[in-house]
Structures are given as C-alpha cells and as structure tokens.
Structure 1
Amino acid sequence: MQIKNTQLGHIAWCETTAQHIAPQDFAVDGWREKNAVVGQSKGRYTTWFVKTDNSDSPQTWVLRHYWRGGMMEKFSRDAYFYTGLQRTRAVAELAILEVLYQEGFAVPRPIAANVERFGLWYRADIIIEHVAGANDLVAYLSHNPMTESQWYLLGETIAKFHQRGVYHADLNAKNILLAHGEFYLIDFDRGELRTPQPTWQQANLDRLLRSFNKEHAKLTTLQFSQQHWLQLLAGYQSINPI
C-alpha cells in the first residue's frame, strides 16, 4: 500500500492500481459530469458504481463513503475520531483487502482509500473494483435456488477465510456475492486478521444464520431452509472443524 498527502488529508492506494487517484475521484459529482455513473446500490446509504475512462482497460469501480450507524449517527453522520492513519476505517479495510487479494482470496480488488482530517476527526471513502456479474445472496436467492454443492462450496469458502484468521465484522447474506460459480466476501469494514479461534468463528457463523433467517422472514420466497444451512455447515466442517 502506498500513501500520499493531499491538501485535505491522505490517499492510500494499492500496488495493483494502475490509474492515478485524485481526491475528486472519491466524489460521485465528478463522475456524473463525465457521464460515468453506471449504477448504484441503495441500503441505508447509497453506494455508487462508476466506469473509468481508461481506454486500454476500462473498469467499473465501487465508491463507498463511511457512514455512522446506531446511536452515534444521532451525533454525527460520518465523522470519526482520528487515532492514526492506519487505524482509520478506510485504510484498515483497504489493507485487509490488499493482503487477501494478493493471497488469492475471493474478494474485490482494492483500489484506493481517502481520509480527510479536520481537527480531531476524519471522514473517509473507499474505492474497490466491481465484481463483474455478481449478485448478493439475498438478490440471488430471491429468484433462484442454490444446489446442494453450492451451499457446500459456500461453507468451504467461509471456512478458508476463517482458517486464515479473517474476522468479518458483518458476515451476512448481503455481504456474500455469487459470480460465475464463485463466492466472494465483501465489506470488510471493522474486519481484522486475528488468530483463528472457535469462539469468534462460531459467532461469525451464528451472525450469518441470523441474517438468512431475517431475510427469509421478510421474504418467504427466499430460497433458504434449515437443510440448506446444514449443507453449508457440512462444507465448513470439511475444511475447518470447530
């Protein structure tokens, strides 16, 4: 990872990034002016999909601003207390993604992070490469079932991340993508690389199960059942028995 200072703060970018990254690249307005916004994803806040103008190898990037949630949102929508650049949400997430991407894990290619300081506080953004042809599991299972072998493969995929010591702070069905038969994990905000231990690994799995059950309660046509979960667990246990 490389870091440069700007008038507003810092920009970090990864060795695999060929394009020059500027502060304005983290704001959607500049992309709109170039008619380069090609999509968006709406959850609590909007994530933007933009097309780069690199004629040799155009890419689709995902722009995400860091917003607060929970009780802290009432005091500040997007300001975080600054305790060092490497501890900022954006740089920390970019660093995890870079390690995992270089090691061949199924994660989006990291592009860059932006940290803007003001006094004791900072705001942040991240850019990653869009996984072509991907659907999150809620979107996919709303219209399509997965086979027994796919559920098994999903369990194996999660187990390999856990064996590496990847703690995902928000492992849920929307943060798992399916693209061309491969499962990807996304959104590593507040994630960590830590010593593998059954306690946090089981907690990760429990969180994922709650997510599937919650989504199924909202949409009864979602293709998920207890049998599917058992198939996922069988794949997980084949790699990482806990």
Structure 2
Amino acid sequence: MQIKQTSQGAIAYCVTAAQAITTEWFDVSFWQQLGAVTGSSKGRYTTWFVKPALNKADTESEWVLRHYYRGGLIEKLSKDKYLFTGLHRTRAVAELALLTQLFNEGFSVPRPIAANVERSGLHYRADIIIERVEGAQDLVARLSKEVMTDQQWRQLGSCIAKFHQRGVYHADLNAKNILITDDEFYLIDFDRGEIRAPKTKWQTANLSRLLRSFNKEKGKLPALAFTESNWQELLKGYSKP
C-alpha cells in the first residue's frame, strides 16, 4: 500500500492501482460524466458500481465505490465525520490495509483498490474503492431465490473458520456481507475489522452475530431458504475447515 498526499488529505492505494489516481475517482459524479456508472446498491446509503476501463486490457472489471457513514445515535450529530487521530487509524486506510493483507495471503476478499481521506480541522471524511467480485450476490439475495446444498453450507462454515484461525475479526459478519459465486464464498465490508489473537470468545460471538442476521432476514422474508438444519451444516464445516 502506498500513500499519495493531496490538498485535502491523502489517498492510499494498492500497487495494483494506477498511480494517476485523483480524488475525483471517489466522487460518483466523475464517473457519471464518463458514463461509467453501472449500478448501485441501496442500504442505509447508496454504494455505487463503476466500470473504470482505465486501459484497453482491462475492460471487464468493475469497482465498488463506498463512502463511510456513521451509524447509531451519533449519526444524528454527524452523518459522515470522524475524529482524525492519524492517517493509518482512519476507517478507510485501516480497512484498505487489512484487505490488502488478506488478499495477498489468498483469502476470499475483494481486491482492494484505493482509499481517500479528506481532512477538515480535527475531523475527516473517507471513501474506499474495491473491485467488485464478478458474478457474486449476497446470501440474502441468493437464499431469497434458491436453496443452498448441505455441501455449500459446510463450505461456508469452512470459509469462516479459515478467517477465524488466521485471527481475522469481522466487526459486522452478517448474511449480506457474505457473497457467493458459482463455486466460492467471499467476505466483504471489513470496516473496523482487524487481526487479533484467535480466541473462542470473540469467534463464538462472531458466529452468533451471523446467526442473528439469518434469523432477522428470515423474519422479514419467511420464504428465505434458511433453516436450523442449514445452520448445523455450517457449524459442521466450521469445525472441520
């Protein structure tokens, strides 16, 4: 990961990203003017998909552009401002660094591209760009349309176990932060994630959070293809990664 200073703060980028990167890349209007916006995902806020096509050899890849927003009660006071305590401690740069480490180690995470931090006094705003996982959809979208096999549930459990054995703490492990392709699972959104000493307590809490997520989605969509039996298959895969 390399750092490029800007007039408003700094951009962190991976060696795989073009060094000509500018702050414009983190503004969706820049891509809209180029006709490069391919879609969006709407949750509490909008995440944008763009097709950069920065060179003739790379015409297929898409990027995901996400701005950092606050949640909880503090959101009422500040929608997207964070206290600046050092560049590498900002949410965007920390997430980019973690993704870079995991990607380089061969974990199933999106390829990291760049992060942007814009300072204003004691505070900052931030954005991140990652590569979109081709052909993937989140588990809620998949399970709302079709079932997964027992083998797939065990495969998911094994995937999570490998992250946990490495000491990867995911701060928001939920069904929408897990992607599935035809043959692989990916974890996404590592905001506030970190590498820590593997311990049963936080690993169990991580799994419990995921289970609550499945049950919450099932409550909103009773037809969701998730059952207690599915969860037990996931745990089997987790115990034998």
> 2 CA distance for matches of 1:41 and 1:179?
18
Show the counterpart of 1:94: 96
Show the counterpart of 2:118: 116
Counterparts in 2 of 1:180 and 1:174: CA distance versus 1, 3 Å: same
> 2 CA distance for matches of 1:109 and 1:230?
31
* Structure 1 position 181, deviation (Å): 1.2
The amino acid across from 2:196 in the alignment is: R
Show the counterpart of 1:20: 20
Residue pairs, 1:1-242, within 5 angstroms: 1-18=1-18, 20-53=20-53, 54-58=55-59, 59-239=61-241
> 2 CA distance for matches of 1:100 and 1:207?
22
* Structure 1 position 227, deviation (Å): 0.2
SS of aligned partner of 1:177: strand
SS of aligned partner of 2:152: helix
Q: RMSD in angstroms over aligned alpha carbons?
A: 0.8
- Length, aligned pairs only: 239
* Structure 1 position 221, deviation (Å): 0.5
Counterparts in 2 of 1:61 and 1:19: CA distance versus 1, 3 Å: farther
1:84-141 deviations in Å (ceiling 9; x for gaps): 0010000000000000000000000000000000100000000000001000000000
> 2 CA distance for matches of 1:181 and 1:142?
18
> 2 CA distance for matches of 1:236 and 1:179?
19
* Structure 1 position 174, deviation (Å): 0.0
The amino acid across from 2:57 in the alignment is: D
SS of aligned partner of 1:143: coil
> 2 CA distance for matches of 1:138 and 1:25?
30
Q: Which runs of 5+ in 1 are unaligned?
A: none
Percent identical pairs in the alignment equals 64
> 2 CA distance for matches of 1:60 and 1:82?
30
Runs of 4+ in 1 over 4 A off after TM superposition: none
> 1 CA distance for matches of 2:226 and 2:99?
29
> 1 CA distance for matches of 2:18 and 2:115?
15
> 1 CA distance for matches of 2:206 and 2:232?
16
> 1 CA distance for matches of 2:83 and 2:155?
40
1:15-62 deviations in Å (ceiling 9; x for gaps): 222463110000000100001000100000000000013221132100
**What TM-score do you get using the length of structure 1 for normalisation?**
0.97
> 2 CA distance for matches of 1:135 and 1:151?
16
> 2 CA distance for matches of 1:21 and 1:126?
13
SS of aligned partner of 2:41: strand
**What TM-score do you get using the length of structure 2 for normalisation?**
0.98
